[in-house]
Amino acid sequence: MESHDIADFPRPVHHRIPNFKGDSRAAEHLLHLHAFPVARTIKVNPDAPQRNARFLVLESKKTLLVPTPRLRTGLFNKITPPPGATKDILRKCATSQGVRNFSVPVGLDSSVLVDLVVVGSVAVSEKGWRIGKGEGYADLEYAMMVSMGAVHEGTPVVTIVHDCQVVDIPEALVEDHDLTVDYILTPTRVITTGCARPKPTGIMWSKVSFEMLTKIPVLRTLREREKRAGKDVTLWDEPGSQQPAPSTVRRPQDRPQAGSRGGSHSPLQGTDTQLAATVYVGNLPYNTRVRELKRALQELGAVPLRLTWQGPQHRAVLHYTDSAAAQQAASLLQGLRLGANALRVSLGQQRDK
């Protein structure tokens, strides 16, 4: 999209939901979907390519819900234009600044029912399989909406992309918690995917880490509610959790876990403690998702205390408790491949606590 000058502001479009020339024209197809005229409440993601979709929802006098960025302060904001707002004001309300200035939070106890969901994508297939930035927020937002009763299996999901973003996606990349789409809107066409793959039926707590729980307060609230309801809310890096399904990562033979004591290992979560040693993992494929590396680390028994993702540099920094754990992890990771790339693994500078 950058090399063919399809990308639009903000640029570069790497590591974000990419904006593109023709995004407004693509969004206009939303008006002609059968689900739009009857929808009362529509959730639209806050990214740039969906700005015109947000405007069209407001202009049609429907309720617009926008997820809070990275879910830091809650799940939704309801956009509330001032009385008698002109088209220019509505357009301002549809911008990121407008979302901040003309909105009120929607709590978990609100009896909201979402009739239509619009999400952004990095890539999507005509079968309805979607790839986002790799951080999983759109998938988690939808799962949280299911948990609070805001959406159901029949709620249509739409994505707005450029034609070049419609690509073949191997089914092996699609997991149970991934959100699929029913309609793809591009500047030149409307694609009805007919996707039969089930959408998430709620939060899969076995895919949620302590790190995510720490960063997303509303997720902690939902977990407490589901725990009181008797549901299994065991996190993926919590003692007693089930191991994730094997991945397609090619790796060396299984070896003892790095940095483990008594057969346990540290979760992938943030810490304020200054760590003693780091391991640099480089030559990551350009399309690698964070979770692919995390899964490989878990399978090899090399799970760090914290992982710093440096996508633009195609590398990650793994932080361990001490130099011995880092050295063992570096040894375990030698020969690891992700996709077609053999990863470069090296020890970082050691630091005293």
C-alpha radius of gyration, the chain, whole number: 21
Instruction: Please write the tens of the pLDDT for every residue from 283-336.
Output: 888 777 888 888 889 888 888 888 888 766 678 888 888 888 888 888 888 888
Predicted local confidence at residue 23, as pLDDT: 96
Q: Average pLDDT in the 163-185 region? A: 90
pLDDT one-digit tens code per residue, 21-37: 999 999 999 999 999 99
Residues of the chain with CATH 3.30.70.330: 278-347
What average pLDDT is seen over the chain? 83
**SS3 breakdown of the chain: % helix, strand, coil, rounded to 5?**
30, 20, 50
28-62 pLDDT, tens per residue?
Answer: 999 999 999 999 999 999 999 999 999 999 999 99
Q: Show Cβ contacts of residue 91 under 8 Å, excluding neighbours closer than 6 positions.
A: 55
Any bridge partners for residue 20, and if so which?
A: 7
d(CA 235, CA 198): 22
CATH topology of domain 2-192: Rossmann fold (3.40.50)
Q: What is the pLDDT of residue 250?
A: 36
**Rounded to 5°, angle at Cα 326 from 324 and 327:** 65
pLDDT at 204: 86
This prediction has a pTM of: 0.68
pLDDT of residue 162 exceeding 70, the answer is yes
Q: What is the pLDDT of residue 218?
A: 86
Q: What is the pLDDT of residue 311?
A: 67
Q: What distance in Å separates the CA atoms of residue 256 and residue 350, rounded to the nearest whole number?
A: 23
> Mean of the pLDDT values across residues 155-171?
94
pLDDT digits (tens, 9 = 90+) for 76-112: 889 999 999 999 999 999 998 888 889 898 877 778 8
Amino acid at 148: M
Least confident of 6-15, 121-130, 141-150, 264-273: 264-273
Pinpoint the residues of the chain covered by CATH 3.40.50.10420.
2-192
CATH 3.90.226.10 fits 278-347, yes or no: no
* Rounded (10°) CA dihedral 285, 342, 174, 145: -60
